Amino acid sequence: MGEISVAAKVTHVPSMYVSEQPGKHHGCREQAIEGHRELSRRARALGVDTILVFDVHWLVNGGYHINCQDKFQGVYTSNELPHFIKDMEYDYKGNPELGRLIAECANARGVKTRAHEIDSLGLEYGTLVPCRYMNDDSHFNVVSVAGWCAWHSHEESRKFGEAVKEAIEKSDNKVMVLASGSLSHRFNDNGLPEESMFQISNEFYRQVDLRVLELWEQGRWKEFTDMLPVYNETCHGEGGMHDTVMLLSMLGWDNYQGKAEVLGEYFPSSGTGQVNVFFPTE
């Protein structure tokens, strides 16, 4: 019987990749990178074999989609911020069986879902950035789920998250599940992201983000789920915050009993609010 061994909400800001490069920003995101490495250490200690990512940089307009080919290999340049992420190489193993099982469980619940094994279907940077720091040695298999669900409801994504849990438990896998996306996500109007790399676009967004983290750390999930629709709309949640909905529904939604642990620090990035958070699964 499989299990969700690790669950987390993680940042994937492109400036983490910039932080590796020589120059004035070298090392600027080290604490965020270290949060990813800490999650990797915890996953390895628990015998995790697969990373499953709810990726808000994979946009879909209809249905739910899973990228679960048996191997991911390529060179990636972001079409959004090519001056931040360019020519980034990746090479990971996949887990087609788990992807197919998730689709089967979701479709059985009435959630239209497709599992794809297409060589030319590449990974987006919401998956690639976390895997760069958690899976640099290709230790884990990788499955990527579209999390930017443009015309989907949170209720549908809750059902999908429940199906993911069912599928993992039916599998033979120990899985680390990542909701890969920011908290508030309001960029500055047509600015240069590198000029606001360490700024929030409005202090209101920072304050709401920090309150959300307090609720998570205190385990006040009913209050958070009640405020989530307005929080998402008002603070411009990345990808509609479907990644967070999927993760939390997988853990039990407002009946979840865990108290979250913030790894490192909350930080602003190019106007947005970013963080790494560990969600206990026991």
Could you tell me the pLDDT band of residue 49, with boundaries at 50, 70 and 90?
Answer: very high
With beta carbons less than 8 A apart as the criterion, state whether 54 and 242 touch.
yes
Structure token pair of residue 111:
């959630």
Question: Which among 32, 36, 38 is positioned nearest to 16, based on CA atoms?
Answer: 32
Quote the DSSP letter at residue 76. E
**pTM over the 0.85 mark:** yes
* Beta pairing partners, 175: 4, 50
Q: From residue 253, how far is each of 99, 126, 180, 223 by CA, in Å? A: 22, 23, 18, 11
Q: What is the pLDDT of residues 61-72, one digit of tens each?
A: 999 999 999 999
Lowest-confidence range among 111-120, 171-180, 195-204, 214-223? 195-204
**Residue 204 scores a pLDDT above 80:** yes
Who contacts 104 (Cβ-Cβ below 8 Å, separation ≥6)? Answer: 167
- Mean pLDDT of the 109-118 span: 98
Residues in the chain: 282
* Cα gap 168→180, rounded to integer Å: 19
* Maximum average pLDDT range among 46-50, 81-85, 185-189: 46-50
* Cα gap 220→92, rounded to integer Å: 37
Could you give the angle at the alpha carbon of 247 between the alpha carbons of 4 and 43, nearest 5°? Answer: 35
Q: What is the pLDDT of residues 211-238, one digit of tens each?
A: 999 999 999 999 999 999 999 999 999 9
What share of the chain has pLDDT > 90, as a percent?
Answer: 94
With beta carbons less than 8 A apart as the criterion, state whether 56 and 147 touch.
yes
Distance of alpha carbon 262 from the chain centroid: 15
Domain count, the chain: 1
Could you tell me the pLDDT band of residue 197, with boundaries at 50, 70 and 90?
Answer: confident
Q: Is residue 280 exposed (0-12), middle (13-18) or buried (19+ Cβ within 10 Å)?
A: middle
What is the crossing angle of helices 221-234 and 203-218, to 10°?
160
* Cα gap 3→170, rounded to integer Å: 9
- Mean pLDDT of the 252-279 span: 97
Task: Give me the CATH number covering residue 270.
Answer: 3.40.830.10
Q: Where are the alpha helices (DSSP H) in the chain?
A: 15-18, 30-45, 96-108, 125-134, 154-170, 203-218, 221-234, 242-251
**Residue 192 scores a pLDDT above 90:** no
**Residue 43 scores a pLDDT above 90:** yes
Q: What is the pLDDT of residue 193?
A: 66
- Mean pLDDT of the 140-155 span: 98
Domain that holds residue 8: 3-279
